Structure 1
Amino acid sequence: MDIRHLQCITEIVRRRSFTKAAEALHLTQPSVSKIVKALEEELRVELFVRDGKQVKLTDAGDTIYRHAGPILQLFDGLVTELNELVYLDKGTVRIGMPPMAGARFFPAVIKRFQERYPGIAFRLVEEGAKKIEESLADGSLEAGVVLLPVDAAMFETYPIVDDRMNVLVAPSHPLAGRPAVELAELAGESFILFNDNFALHDRIIGECRNAGFEPRVSYESSQWDFIGELVGAGLGVAMLPDTMCRRLGPDLARAIPLTRPVIPWRLAMAWRKDGYLSMATREWIRFTRELFADGAGSGTANR
């Protein structure tokens, strides 16, 4: 038994005629009779009694007809909802986004996407890039913003922003007037870092070790603007992307280009190569890839 059987039986009862049911279903009358006959043989029951020109249900036929209505309503609802998903009239984009990326690059992008697809909802998961990469790997997120590099064998990506890290110090700090600073010069400083859910946490510590010292970490936070406030209060030095440093302003903290080494800050949209992607997420990836490729994202920084 399948949906076609239920549709035929329902139309025959509604229209009290095999011929009229065939017309409603855009089939021939022999085709409708064949469908009913096949179902009767499958179930080993008689569904209709032909009394002259009248078509009447048997007890078995009546049982099927009573259950057919709710089943067909559910099926119609299923088809409608699937069509809405396919044609992007509804759906959900669940995306992981680090605080810095969400604050700087995506509000205008999300607005443009929802202007085109108002029925699609967003579920933003705000985590550090390291945590987002883990969530993409285990399948709990379909797409997310990560810090490059990532495992190219596991993830598909496209670039969002190419920036570099600055050293952030209080205006009264001895390095505040310098045009540039080398990482080794920070060996005696107290560091304010993102917490260990962020890829920058491990990367900065690793670069310090490469420069010959173990950083003394005084504070950790998940919020870039709070890190800026801590630096401005003279509680330590930090490293933030140039893009975000410019949002803090020189009265709060001074941003100094970091040299030897230059630490890149390259963000990308990522998704698992073998992972499931909903229709809405597929369109989000296509839509945003085009925006960032033509520079219409939200002021991407190119260096």
Structure 2
Amino acid sequence: MRVDEEITFRKLEILLEFMEAGTLARAADRLGISTVSVHRALHSLEASLRCALFRQEGRNLHPTEAAHALADVARDLLQTLSHGIRATREVAGYGADRIRIGSLYSLTIEAVPKLVVGMKVRKPELETELVLGSNLDLLRKLRDGSVDAALMALPEGAPDVESEPLFQDAIHFAAPAGSRYAGMAEIDLGACVDERFVSLTEGFATYDGFVDAFRVAGFTPNVVMKTGDIFSLMNLVSGGLGCTLLPGRVRDVFSQKVQLIPLQPKYLMRQTIGLNFLRTRERDPNLLALLAVCRASRADLG
């Protein structure tokens, strides 16, 4: 049996409100609509069902047994729909009791702990799950719903993503402590053609800066090893396997073993780090709370 398209959820809501309020005027006041709109909706239900739902007594409408039967069905139907909407939103992460935040490895040093603490203060009942990855990984996870938001370099050419810039970070030359670069105020990358290098794998924002800087330098670096996280990369540098390029935000991690030295201005590359989420989720209350925390903490994140 096909349901007449004139029987809508809104009209069923109006029916229930009228049955509880008792009069057209009270129902209209509760719903914030006109009395005429309430009367029209009830009359439309009668016409669609092809049976009398009300009897007229003077200026008043009195529900029939049929109206009471329809109201019972409508109440169950609307409750089921409400539960279904809530369950669907929870599966999608919208307004759920947890939030999944994606992050670059390097942001777990300072930015992530500050934001997680801020979220605990703002929404103490909300559970936070952290997912780490490269920029490319996090963008993919954002789009397939594996994370609700991602702290990473702002993606280019992503009209489906809403981004809130938080801070900028410059790329530095990284060498083992005590190396021949130790006393230099800045590094001429073009003079490092004979140096051995280590790097991150493709997909990381820092890898993109690495490639761009050497493009400016005019040569392809001798990369002896690649790794999938920035802390392993720093261990490779501290162990003397090679030099690399790193963002300034990691300077204090292995400060006794790895030295970060500014590049000459012509090789300078900057990353803009921000909070990223899908535009379709911009009204999600959990994401709005995270966005507020990010804005309030912006001065302390860079």
- TM-score for the superposition, normalised by structure 2: 0.70
2:268 aligns to what?
263
Contact residue 192 and residue 238 of structure 1 kept, 8 A? yes
Q: Could you tell me which amino acid in structure 2 is paired with residue 173 of structure 1?
A: S
1:220 to 205, 221, 226: 226
Change (3 A) 1:247 1:81: same
3-state secondary structure, aligned to 1:41? helix
2:118 aligns to what?
112
Count residues with an aligned counterpart.
Answer: 278
Change (3 A) 1:255 1:45: same
Q: Could you tell me which amino acid in structure 1 is paired with residue 262 of structure 2?
A: P
Contact residue 209 and residue 270 of structure 2 kept, 8 A? no
1:69 to 75, 78, 81: 75
2:177 aligns to what?
171
Change (3 A) 1:152 1:37: closer
3-state secondary structure, aligned to 1:196? coil
Contact residue 49 and residue 57 of structure 1 kept, 8 A? no
Q: Superposition pairs for residues 71-220 of structure 1, below 5 Å?
A: 71-75=77-81, 77=83, 90=96, 93=99, 95-120=101-126, 122=128, 124-132=130-138, 144-147=150-153, 150=156, 157-171=163-177, 173-220=179-226
3-state secondary structure, aligned to 1:175? coil
CA offsets per residue over residues 50-73 of structure 1, 9 Å max, x none? 9xxx97625xx5753452332132
Contact residue 143 and residue 269 of structure 1 kept, 8 A? no
3-state secondary structure, aligned to 1:214? coil
Contact residue 106 and residue 250 of structure 2 kept, 8 A? yes
Change (3 A) 1:206 1:184: same
2:26 aligns to what?
26
Partners of 1:126 and 1:222 in 2: CA distance: 11
1:233 aligns to what?
239
1:39 aligned onto 2:45: yes
Change (3 A) 1:163 1:66: closer
Partners of 1:199 and 1:225 in 2: CA distance: 15
- The CA deviation at 1:44 is 0.7
CA offsets per residue over residues 257-292 of structure 1, 9 Å max, x none? 332544233323265896552333344334423431
Partners of 2:41 and 2:163 in 1: CA distance: 51
Change (3 A) 1:200 1:11: closer
The range that moved more, 121-130 or 103-112, is: 121-130
RMSD: 4.3
Q: Could you tell me which amino acid in structure 1 is paired with residue 193 of structure 2?
A: A
Change (3 A) 1:261 1:275: farther
Contact residue 11 and residue 24 of structure 1 kept, 8 A? no
Partners of 2:8 and 2:276 in 1: CA distance: 37
2:3 aligns to what?
none
Change (3 A) 1:68 1:170: same
Change (3 A) 1:45 1:56: closer
3-state secondary structure, aligned to 2:194? coil
